[in-house]
Structure 1
C-alpha cells in the first residue's frame, strides 16, 4: 500500500561499527561496504539461530532501508557500555566468541581495560554516518541548520541522530576519574578532522555532561547533522555519569550494572534535562540560535519519569516528550502497584548491588483463536509505559514509537514458557517509593549468583500471527487511553509510529525481522488491527466505536499510513521548522 516508511528508533550502522575497530578519524572504510547487510553468522550459528540467536536477524542495513522504502528515520547511537563488555553468562560468551562473529574483540578489551572513553566510541560510530552521507546522495543527514523539510529532500533515506544514554557524552576513559581521552592518542594523519579536534575540548569539561552536550551539539551543527531526541539513560547504571535510575531491561547478560540503582532523577540529571531544552548554538554568522533536543522516556525508571514530569511542570518546560521504542504495561501507575505479587518480592545481592525482584500480574489484552496460544497479555515491566505516561506524551503533543521487540510487546509462548522471565528488578530506593507499605527488612534475601540460568521466552518456537497481534494490542491500548484520558481535541492516532530498535539486542517479529520486510508489518496491521480492537474491547471495555471504525477499509488504510509514515514525517517536519509537535 505505502511506498514510504518512518522508523523512530533504529541502529543502521551499529553492527558495522562494532564489527571492525578503526583507530583513526575519519573512517577509511568504503561506503558500499558500510551500506550492505552484515553477515554475522557462520554455518553452525545458522542452525542454532532458529532456537537461540535470532536476535542476530534484527538488521537495518542502509541498502535495505532504501530497498524496503524507509525514507525517514532516527539513527540511535548507543555505544558499548562497561556492563556489556564485562558481562558473564552463556549468552555473553557466545556473543563475544567467534561462534557468531558479531563483535571485534578490540572494543570489548578497550572498554574492560578503560583504554577508551564512551565519547570517542560514540564519535567513531557517528563518523560512519558522516562518511556515508558525504559520499552517497541517496542518503542524507537532516538538520535545522539548513531550514529544510522532508519535502525539500531528494534523498531516498533521510536521517536524524539520537543519543541513547548520557554516558555517550562522557569524555574520561571508562572507569577513570581523571584520565581524559584526548586527541593526543591520534596521529598527525587525522589531527585536522573536526571529530578529532573535539576530543580536546574535554579537559576543562571534566565529567560535566551539560558542557559536553553543548560542545557535541555544536559539532553536529558544524558537520551538517542534528539530534532530535536524547535518551537520558540506557540499560546499565554508569556511575561516572549518573543522571537517573534506569528501568531494568536486560536478562540475557549478567552484570551488576544492569540492575537499577538510585531513586529517580539526580540533581545533575535535572540540570541536564533543562540544558536539553535551553540549547543555543552558534551559526555561520556568529549568532546564537535556539536548538533544543527532546527528552525520550525510554529506559527511564518509573520514579525517574515521575520526577521528570514534576520537573517539567516546575520549570514550565513545554517541549514535546517522546517515547521512541516502547511497549505498554496496560496499567495506570496505581493499578500497576496494586498488581504486585507480594510473595514474589525478594532482595537480591549481586556483587554488592542490591535490587528488589518484583513480579506483577499481567493484564490481559484479549483473546483470539482457540486452544493454546489464545490468551494475550501486556508486558508489565516498568520500563514500559504506564497509562499516565501515555497521557503525558499526548498532553505534550509528542510521539510514541512502538517497538518491534516482541518481548517488550508482551509476547509469551504458552507452551514451555519459563516464568522466570516474568519478573523484573528495581532499586531498593524505588521499591520503597512505590511500595511504602512493604518493609524491605521482611523480604527474603538471596544472592543472584544462586539463580539458575534460565531459558528466555525466545527459545520457544512461535506462531507468526501472534507477533503482529501483540503489536496491534499495544497500539489499541495507547489509542484507548488517549480517547478516555488524553487531552480534549487530541487524536491519539496522530501520535503513534514505529520505533523498531532494529540492530539492537531484540527479538524481532517473525513477519519482519529486518527493515527490508517492513512492508509486511503494514499488511499485518491492516489484517489484525480490527481483530485486536474487538478482542481488546471484549476483554477490557473502553471505546466501543474503535472496533466499528476499523471495519471501514478506507479509514483503516488511512490509520495504518499514519502509523507507518505520516505521523513521523509530520513530527520531524514540524521540528525542522522550529515548531515541535505531532499535531497537524
Structure 2
C-alpha cells in the first residue's frame, strides 16, 4: 500500500555539504568520521543514527511513499554555531559537514536564499531512470495511479526562512517582500511560526538536546505584534499554522484567536501539528511530575520532568516537555478540523535517551521556560513547586537494570502505539469530539531530518512497511483495553499511514487553489 508522511526533510542534509559537490537528495548520505587521508570510520552509534535518520527521495520511492509534506528549512544561525563548537565538526572530521559551508550558514543572513536553493535542488537534481519527484501546486495534479512519482506539498519550517539579514534596518520590509514572493510563486500549505531558536514572531518551546542549552533558550512571551501581522497574512493566503515548536502560552494565544468565543467547535481555519508527541497530561498537570524544583537560570527556568507511566500501557511512559501536546492541544486541533502527525523521534514519543539508559540515572526530560512566561506556566512562585516523590508512577532507575537493548525495537513500537491510543482516548472522552471523525485526524509525520534519534523499529522510510504490519496486534490489544474495540484496526492503520494525511493535504490544496 502507499504511504504518506506529513513532515519529511529529503533536502536538508545537502545544505551542510560543499555546494560544488552537493550530494543528490535521491541518495543515502552516510555520515562518516574521517581519521586521516581517505580513511573513515563510523561515528559513535547514537550520533551516527541521528545523522542518518533522513529519508532520501530514493527511499521514499522504493517504499511507495506517495505523498509527503515537503519540509523546506534553513538551518538556523544557532544550529551552525552549536555544530561549530563540536570538536569533531570543527576539525572537519565529519564528512557530511563542509566547514566553509557551515561558516556560511552560521552567519545567519542567508535563510531565504537557502530555502530557495533547497527547493531548486529538490526539483533539478538528476533523477534516477524511471523515478520522478513533483511538487504539487493544486490538488488536481495528484494522480494516485501514477507509479513512478513521489509527490510533495510545501511546508516551511520556521518564519526565519524568509529573512535575509534579520538585524538589518530594512529587515521587516525585506522579510515581507520575500514572504510574499515565495508564497505567491509556490503553493505553501503550512508554516511553523518558530523553530529551535528565538525569533521575532513568537516564543518557542525548548526542544533540542545535543547542544549547549543557552543557544536555544526561549526568552519571549507569547505572540508578538509582528507575529500577529504575519499570521494574519497567512490566514489571508489560506496558509495553515503548524503549532509544533510554539510554547504553550503561544499556542494558547493562537487557540483563543482562532476560536469563535461563542462556539468551541468553530475556528478561523484548521490547526495542525505535523510532527507531534503527547505529554499524556492535561495542561492543569503540566508541572506535576517534577524531578526537582524548577531552577531560576536568569532569563529562563530550568524544568526537569520525571517520566510518568502511561494510563494505557504501564510499560510505556511520556515526555512531559511542553513541546509535546497536552490533552487540550489535541482537543483544539481536532475541533478545528486539523490533524496530528506523529513524530518518529523516540525522545518525543517518551522513550528515555540512550545516554540516560547507559548511565542508569533517573530517566527524565529537561526543558527551559521563559522567565516572561513563568507565571503562566509555573505559577507565581516557581521555586516553591514541589518535586514528585512517588516512584511507583514514574520510570525509575531500577526499571533499566534488566532492560535488554535488543528489546528497543519492540519498546519503541509500543511507545508509538501508546501515543496513538492516547490521542484517540482524548477524543473519545471529549463531549464535543466525534471519535468516528477523530480517527481520520491522525497521520504520520516522521520528522526524518538527520537531526532526530529515530525509533529503532523505523529508522527511515525503509522501515515503514514492516512497522505498519508489526503494529497491528499491539494496537488491537491497547484499543480493546480502552473500550475502543469498535475501531477496525486494519482500516485505522491504512488511514494513519496513508489515507488521512493524503485526504487532508489534498483538501487543503483544493481550498487554496481548487
Give 1:514 deviation, angstroms. 1.2
Q: Does 1:142 align with 2:139?
A: no
Q: Does 1:217 align with 2:183?
A: yes
Q: 1:162 to 1:78 in 2, by over 3 A?
A: same
* 1:99-139 CA-partner distances (Å, limit 9, x unpaired): 3312122232123345x421112211111123149998621
Residue 86 of structure 1 is matched in structure 2 by: 81
* 1:138-157 CA-partner distances (Å, limit 9, x unpaired): 2111112x743444866521
Q: 1:206 to 1:297 in 2, by over 3 A?
A: closer
The one of 498, 518, 522 aligned to 2:468: 522
Q: Does 1:16 align with 2:10?
A: no
Residue 62 of structure 2 is matched in structure 1 by: 67
Residue 250 of structure 2 is matched in structure 1 by: 304
Q: Are the aligned partners of 2:16 and 2:102 in contact in 1 as well (CA < 8 Å)?
A: no
The one of 8, 29, 42 aligned to 1:38: 29
Partner Cα separation in structure 1 for residue 374 and residue 363 of structure 2 = 20
Give 1:233 deviation, angstroms. 0.2
Partner Cα separation in structure 1 for residue 132 and residue 111 of structure 2 = 30
Partner Cα separation in structure 1 for residue 14 and residue 55 of structure 2 = 11
Q: Does 1:130 align with 2:91?
A: no
Give 1:416 deviation, angstroms. 3.8
Q: Does 1:399 align with 2:339?
A: yes
Partner Cα separation in structure 2 for residue 336 and residue 231 of structure 1 = 23
Q: Secondary structure at the match of 2:337?
A: coil
Partner Cα separation in structure 2 for residue 141 and residue 367 of structure 1 = 40
The one of 262, 268, 281 aligned to 1:318: 268
Residue 207 of structure 2 is matched in structure 1 by: 249
* 1:289-339 CA-partner distances (Å, limit 9, x unpaired): xxx1111010001000001111213698521111000100001111224x0
Partner Cα separation in structure 1 for residue 433 and residue 172 of structure 2 = 46
Residue 512 of structure 1 is matched in structure 2 by: 458
Q: Are the aligned partners of 1:432 and 1:440 in contact in 2 as well (CA < 8 Å)?
A: no
Give 1:210 deviation, angstroms. 4.2
Q: 1:438 to 1:125 in 2, by over 3 A?
A: same
Q: Are the aligned partners of 2:374 and 2:380 in contact in 1 as well (CA < 8 Å)?
A: no
Residue 577 of structure 1 is matched in structure 2 by: 510
Q: Secondary structure at the match of 1:35?
A: coil
Q: 1:575 to 1:149 in 2, by over 3 A?
A: farther
Partner Cα separation in structure 2 for residue 210 and residue 394 of structure 1 = 31
Q: 1:442 to 1:336 in 2, by over 3 A?
A: closer
Q: Secondary structure at the match of 1:407?
A: coil
Q: Secondary structure at the match of 1:71?
A: strand
Q: Secondary structure at the match of 2:483?
A: helix
Q: Equivalent residues in 2 for 1:319-468 (5 A)?
A: 319-337=269-287, 339=288, 341=290, 343-349=292-298, 354-365=299-310, 375-412=315-352, 416-419=359-362, 421-438=364-381, 461=405, 463-468=408-413
Q: Does 1:564 align with 2:510?
A: no
Q: Equivalent residues in 2 for 1:180-191 (5 A)?
A: none
Q: Are the aligned partners of 1:328 and 1:378 in contact in 2 as well (CA < 8 Å)?
A: yes
Moved more, 316-325 or 509-518: 316-325
The one of 91, 94, 103 aligned to 1:100: 94
Partner Cα separation in structure 2 for residue 273 and residue 35 of structure 1 = 34
Give 1:252 deviation, angstroms. 0.6
Partner Cα separation in structure 1 for residue 431 and residue 145 of structure 2 = 34
Partner Cα separation in structure 1 for residue 310 and residue 382 of structure 2 = 32
The one of 396, 410, 430 aligned to 1:485: 430
Partner Cα separation in structure 2 for residue 488 and residue 39 of structure 1 = 45
Residue 395 of structure 2 is matched in structure 1 by: none
Give 1:49 deviation, angstroms. 3.2
Q: Secondary structure at the match of 1:408?
A: coil
Q: 1:52 to 1:421 in 2, by over 3 A?
A: farther
Q: Equivalent residues in 2 for 1:106-121 (5 A)?
A: 106-113=100-107, 116-121=109-114
Moved more, 301-310 or 421-430: 421-430
Residue 169 of structure 1 is matched in structure 2 by: 162
* 1:182-225 CA-partner distances (Å, limit 9, x unpaired): xxxxxxxxxxxxxxxxxxxxx6x7456444322211122xxxxx
Q: Are the aligned partners of 2:294 and 2:385 in contact in 1 as well (CA < 8 Å)?
A: no
Give 1:64 deviation, angstroms. 0.8
Q: TM-score if structure 1 supplies the norm length?
A: 0.76
Partner Cα separation in structure 1 for residue 410 and residue 107 of structure 2 = 45
The one of 189, 193, 197 aligned to 1:228: 189
Moved more, 431-440 or 317-326: 431-440
The one of 150, 153, 162 aligned to 1:157: 150
Partner Cα separation in structure 1 for residue 118 and residue 84 of structure 2 = 27
Q: 1:317 to 1:560 in 2, by over 3 A?
A: closer
Q: Are the aligned partners of 2:82 and 2:215 in contact in 1 as well (CA < 8 Å)?
A: no
Q: 1:112 to 1:467 in 2, by over 3 A?
A: same
Q: TM-score if structure 2 supplies the norm length?
A: 0.85
Please list every run of 5 or more consecutive structure 2 residues that lacks an aligned counterpart in the other structure.
387-399
Partner Cα separation in structure 2 for residue 336 and residue 306 of structure 1 = 14
Partner Cα separation in structure 1 for residue 145 and residue 76 of structure 2 = 38
Residue 195 of structure 1 is matched in structure 2 by: none
* 1:374-414 CA-partner distances (Å, limit 9, x unpaired): 73211100000011110111011111100000000001266
